Amino acid sequence: MQMLYTVQLPRSRGGIAGASCLLTTTSSERPEKRLNEILSEHPSRSASQCSTSDIHFMKAFTVPKMIDALSKEFPRLVTSCAEKPFSKPIKLLVIDALAELFHEHETTNYNYLKQRSRILNEISSLLYRLAHDYNVAVVVVNEVSAALDETIVGAQPHEVLYHDQLEFFGRVEPIVGKEERLNAALGFVWANAVNARIMLSKTSRACFPEQQESSTKRRRLNSGRAESQKKPITIRKLTVIFNTLASSASLHYIVTTGGVMALAPEDTSIVTVE
């Protein structure tokens, strides 16, 4: 959600002075409450530079509707915004979430996987075309599943298996605590279609956010004293698995009412949750 506002900021503040489009594959409505919450609580977001009116919303519940949205509806939206005076040009497309389009299929036989590969190739081609023709950044939300430690039956010596390659393009290995090993969904085809893969995961640690938040953004009680947040917030991990510009890296962050907040490695407010 926070990136939908970040793109609106001027370049001097880390944005590109553009609008965004959220294309969802679920039946959920526009997340107006959360968008307004971030706008009012985030210390670097202001109504003078960011607005919910510069966040456009589209839906595509099926593969045909997704193809239609990417090939027709989104280009029309970009053109329409570019022609409106005082309107910010669309510079960011967020798809949430691509794997939802394939949940209705319970089996994963050869014919289904072949069809899914064809669809993913078509969608990725459309996204590359949009990025090139309209100069927009594209972020596609994917899903993960728990990795299983399994023995590959019939594997030959020195054979390079898909199972063994996952750690390079679709997996985050646990580093501390009880973090699970997770695999990205949609397989090898989609992994080869993206320029960068960033995985978000939860850890078994937490921190107390009152030491992190700006005092001007804290909620106030009737007595005028800052409200004390006793409950710790779960620490999450962002890992760049691969990208075309730099080496892989990771950092820890929390999600607050104001959005995403990165944590310093030496943060003393971090505790382990058993």
State whether residue 4 is helix, strand or coil. helix
Q: What is the rounded average pLDDT for all residues in the chain?
A: 82
* For residue 224, pLDDT beyond 50: no
| Token output for 23 | 């294309």
Q: pLDDT-derived band of residue 148, with 50, 70 and 90 as boundaries? A: low
pLDDT at res. 63: 96
Q: pLDDT for 229-243, tens place per residue?
A: 467 889 999 989 889
Alpha carbons 232 and 103: distance in angstroms, whole number: 34
* For residue 167, pLDDT beyond 90: no
Q: Which residues of 32-69 are buried (b: 16+ CB within 10 A; e: fewer)?
A: eeebebbbebbeebeeeebebebbbebbbeebeebeeb
What number of helices (H) and strands (E) belong to the chain?
Answer: 7, 12
pLDDT at res. 3: 92
State whether residue 55 is helix, strand or coil. strand
* For residue 260, pLDDT beyond 80: yes
pLDDT at res. 104: 76
Lowest mean pLDDT among 28-42, 165-179, 184-198, 207-221: 207-221
Mean pLDDT of 142-164: 64
Tell me the DSSP string of 75-133: HHHHHHHHHSTTPPPEEEEEEE-GGGGGTT-----HHHHHHHHHHHHHHHHHHHHHHHH
* For residue 42, pLDDT beyond 80: yes
Q: pLDDT for 56-102, tens place per residue?
A: 999 999 999 999 999 999 999 999 999 998 889 999 999 999 999 99
pLDDT at res. 90: 97
Mean pLDDT of 138-152: 75
* For residue 176, pLDDT beyond 70: no
188 phi/psi in degrees, rounded to 5: -70, -35
pLDDT at res. 48: 78
pLDDT at res. 122: 98
Distances (CA, A) of 146 to 67, 81, 98, 197: 29, 41, 18, 17
Instruction: Name the strand (E) or helix (H) holding 134.
Output: helix 110-134
Q: In this structure, what DSSP letter does residue 71 have?
A: I
Mean pLDDT of 117-134: 97
* For residue 253, pLDDT beyond 50: yes
What pTM did the predictor assign?
0.82
Give the distance, in angstroms, between the CA of residue 60 and the centroid of all CA atoms in the same chain: 18
